[in-house]
Chains A and B, each alone.
Chain A
Amino acid sequence: MSPIESADVVVVGAGIVGAACAEALSADGRRVMVLDRGAPAGATTASGEGNVLLSDKAPGPELDLALASRRRWPELLDTLRDELGERLADVEWESKGGLVVAVNPDSVSPLRILTAAQREAGVEVRDLGQAAACAMEPHLTTGVTAAAHYPGDAQVQPVLAATAMLAAVRARGGLVHGGVEAEGLVVRGGRVAGIRVGGTAVPCGAIVNACGPWAGHFSVAAGAPIEVLPRRGMVLVTAPLPAVVGRKVYAADYVAAVSSGDVDLQVSPVVESTATGAVLIGSSRQRVGFDETLEVEVLRRLARSAIRLFPVLAGVPVMRAYGGFRPYTPDHLPVIGEDPRIPGLWHAGGHEGAGVGLAPATGRMLADLMEGRRPEVDPGPFRVARPALMAEVRT
């Protein structure tokens, strides 16, 4: 990298969230430089399933952000298509809908309560009985006790989506550098003046910490620690199949697992087909730091839970398993905003398993705040200065 480079904003982290922030900032005409210590879209983004979900969120700030993001996705893809052309903008977007199923009598009324509240909050959702659910997904277990259909749930291929947004950033004159580690900030007069990389300093007016599960590490190096921690997840991939699963189908207890902070392993099934016909089977959540060691027990429980929903999958070969780390915050809300301790330092992350879905609205909110526009969604709940994030620095 040439030492004379400079930027209005340096985004650290070229995953889906960093890419979406860079896209939104460059759309505002800012000169953006994106840095990633590894390959762009190569870590958490390459380990995701590409969920764009409304169904798994209870009413609250995250659902508001999800609704805004769900509206934003098609607009964003239109923009990418206009600027980059059909091929590059093809990110396997599929508005396939989601089906949440309860498989025991106890989950019926919590599911109905959830859907009623979601409907109130503006989510399109239909309550279904067993027969209607099984008509929709013919291979679904007949043991379904209740279901809910969310036409708005969608899927996107995260690596294609992130690399397309980064291509747009480059096309608008921005820079994307992989294999470049951000070492720390240059702070002058109490605010960000540049970023240190490879022994030199790149002048810039603002820095966005979009380091995903490593956002906590970067925040420490930046001198403004926030609490973002890794939660490990694994996904199984089957051999390509003729259509067995039409929508995103998951068990009602997934919603509870998403919002839980348990250290222990949690597994609740999320089953869906991809463009190639392979079926993806998630999801597990486990707090093991950055330990990547394979655990057969996790795979076994994923397999069991998927078969419980779709018994026909028992005979299907598993081709591979992949895993990664999702960034979570202790209060399970993303962080989007400027750090009050060091003006010019921004954070965008902590989306856990929803980063792909929430990325466009996150980028938009960050750009709005930086520009001084009023964001579509109230940014208050996502602010940096909240006790759950800054616990360590309260002293």
Chain B
Amino acid sequence: MNRVVVVGAGPAGLAAASAAAELGVEVVLVDAGAKLGGQYFRQDALARGDRFALPLAVEHVANASVWAVEPVEGGHRVHVRIGEADDPSRTGRVLETRALVLATGAYDRAVPFPGWDLPGVFTAGAAQAMAKGQGVAVGDRVLVAGTGPFLLPVAVALAAAGARVVEVAEANAPVAGWLSRPRGAAAGTRRFPELARYAGMLARHRVPYRTRTAVVAAHGSDSVAAATVARLAKDWTPVPGSERRVEVDAVAVGFGFTPQLELAVAARCRIEGGFVAVDATQGTSVPGVFAAGELTGIGGAELAASEGAVAGAAAAKRLGAVVEPPLGAMARVRSGRRFAAALAAAYPVRPGWTGWVRDDTVVCRCEEVPLGRLLEAVDERDLWGVRPLKLASGAGLGMCQGRVCGANVAELVGLDDGVFARRRIAAPLRLGELAGAASTAEEAGGSPASRADQSFGQDLG
């Protein structure tokens, strides 16, 4: 119990673990990756060494997936499987803690369009990971589409990996968005040089960047051979007659990010507007549970690290460490949040996207539920709760458990998507592992290592 457990070793989790350890408490940092850094600082798993050095008081448990969080007397019990998901020798570990820091991040959202289930359509995050991690481009001619500043580094990474990026289609008109929020833009000034640098790199590669433009269909028989892009009205309704066909063999789509909420939901943290609600010390509504990074709002790595530093200090304080309030980090969190709010306002997913989805467009890929069948079930059966909706239509019941489709399905039928994040088993495990799983820390004893992860929402093709 007398240790801080941090889940997630991206910018937020790294900062939290370091901050807590520097205050003299024992820290266990659990992460799905083989190396530190998470999705943002994705390191080559096969390369030697690690870019990050953690204080000695931090025990890093790599290749570990947290499949359950259980509230217990005085704190929480964190259930971990360590090793490759398909490794029969994967081992278990149970960590009890009075101070749990959740830094589980977010995964990228893909909005459906006809043909999005063809091989060759990837999430922007998956395309970037392959390009940066393995130097492999997802195609020779790639269309990058969606919304948000994240599209720029994705396009740059693809170009650097040798792909011809035929176009970056940004569905919003972000310049207008930025200018309308001077305070947010001012807070984000440090990000501007970075974005300007990416924009310059795209210009050098002669990559057109078009706003109010989206991919509205992908075509091909076995895999993507072409895509249709269209101009959009302000609400993202495609402008009739503006469609253009582009010859591509891959499409990378990114429509912002969805926070990885299941552990926060399992710990019963209050969720507000789709994110974990936190106070000035990153404390959630549940005593002893802190949240940092994209879980609390999409704001990028810098904000995540500042939140992590605050959360780590608050977690250490809960264990009795003498802590000066981390005023610097707290100030950076405040300004970072203004930037994040401006980002959210400039790059929303606008309702017009539902207009380019057809009745035969699959909205839930795992269970292959087309929009028509979903709407039919809702209409004929008068469904309006998420659980009946899932059970009657099949949407969200498959392997991804609504991680890919939950937000889209909820929006298509006008429901709150929060219930999709209620996943009592946060990561799949074999029945035999569950049968053998220790249910308390005393039972669990030892602690080995290896790897495990789910890559939900990654490869869409």
Which residues does A use to contact B, with CB under 8 Å? 38-42, 46-47, 87-88, 157-160, 163-164, 166-167, 170, 176, 178-179, 236, 238-239, 276, 278, 281, 293-297, 299-300, 303-304, 306-307, 313-323
Contacts and interface: CB of A to CB of B under 8 A. Distances in A.
Chain A CB within 10 Å, residue with most, of B69, B266, B429: B429
Contact of A157 (B70, B266, B268, B391): B391
B388 A163 contact: yes
Contacts of A40: 382-385, 388
Across the A-B interface, give the 4 residue pairs with the lowest CB-CB distance, nearest first.
Answer: A39-B385, A314-B432, A42-B385, A163-B381
A42 B266 contact: no
Nearest to B401: A320
Given A39-B384, A88-B380, A313-B431, 14 more contacts: A40-B384, A41-B392, A46-B387, A163-B388, A167-B380, A178-B382, A293-B71, A295-B439, A299-B68, A317-B428, A317-B429, A318-B430, A319-B398, A320-B425
A178 B435 contact: no
A316 B394 CA distance: 21
B191 to A, nearest CB: 38
B439 A320 contact: no
A307 B432 contact: yes
B449 interface: no
Contacts of B266: 294
A166 B70 contact: no
Given A276-B367, A296-B68, A296-B439, A42 B431 contact: no
B394 A318 contact: no
Given A163-B381, A294-B266, A39 B432 contact: no
Contacts of A47: 387
Nearest to A41: B388
A304 B435 contact: yes
Interface residues of B, number: 38
B78 to A, nearest CB: 11
Nearest to B68: A296
Given A293-B71, A320-B401, A300 B385 contact: no
Nearest to A178: B384
B397 interface: yes
Contacts of B383: 39-40, 163
B42 to A, nearest CB: 26
B92 to A, nearest CB: 10
Interface in B385-420: 385-388, 391-392, 394, 397-399, 401
A238 B397 CA distance: 11
Contact of A236 (B69, B423, B431, B439): B431
Contact of B434 (A159, A164, A299, A322): A299
B387 A176 contact: no
B424 interface: yes
B430 A317 contact: yes
Interface in B269-311: none
B141 interface: no
B93 interface: no
A192 B399 CA distance: 49
Given A41-B388, A293-B71, A300-B439, A239 B428 contact: yes
Interface of B: 68-71, 77, 79, 266, 268, 367, 376, 380-388, 391-392, 394, 397-399, 401, 423-425, 428-432, 434-435, 437, 439
A316 B437 CA distance: 15
A322 B390 CA distance: 13
Contacts of A163: 381-383, 388, 392
A314 to B, nearest CB: 3
Most B CB within 10 A of own CB, among A38, A159, A276, A314: A159
A362 B271 CA distance: 40
7 contacts: A39-B386, A167-B380, A278-B397, A293-B70, A296-B68, A303-B431, A320-B401
Contacts of B391: 46, 157-160
A316 to B, nearest CB: 5
A160 to B, nearest CB: 6
A319 B425 CA distance: 7
A153 B432 CA distance: 28
B399 A296 contact: no
Contacts of A238: 431
A357 to B, nearest CB: 18
Contacts of B388: 39-42, 46, 159, 163
B75 to A, nearest CB: 13
Contacts of B424: 294, 320-323
Contact of A296 (B380, B387, B394, B437): B437
A278 B398 CA distance: 9
A295 B68 CA distance: 9
A297 B439 CA distance: 6
B428 A318 contact: yes
Contacts of A313: 431-432
Residue among B71, B77, B401, B430 with the highest chain A CB neighbour number at 10 A: B430
A296 B431 contact: no
Give the most central of B397, B423, B430, B434: most A CB within 10 Å. Answer: B434
Contacts of B439: 295-297, 300
A158 B71 CA distance: 31
A316 B423 CA distance: 18
A40 B380 CA distance: 13
A178 B85 CA distance: 41
- Which of A47, A278, A321 has the largest count of B CB atoms less than 10 A from its CB? A321
A264 to B, nearest CB: 15
B365 to A, nearest CB: 14
Nearest to A321: B424
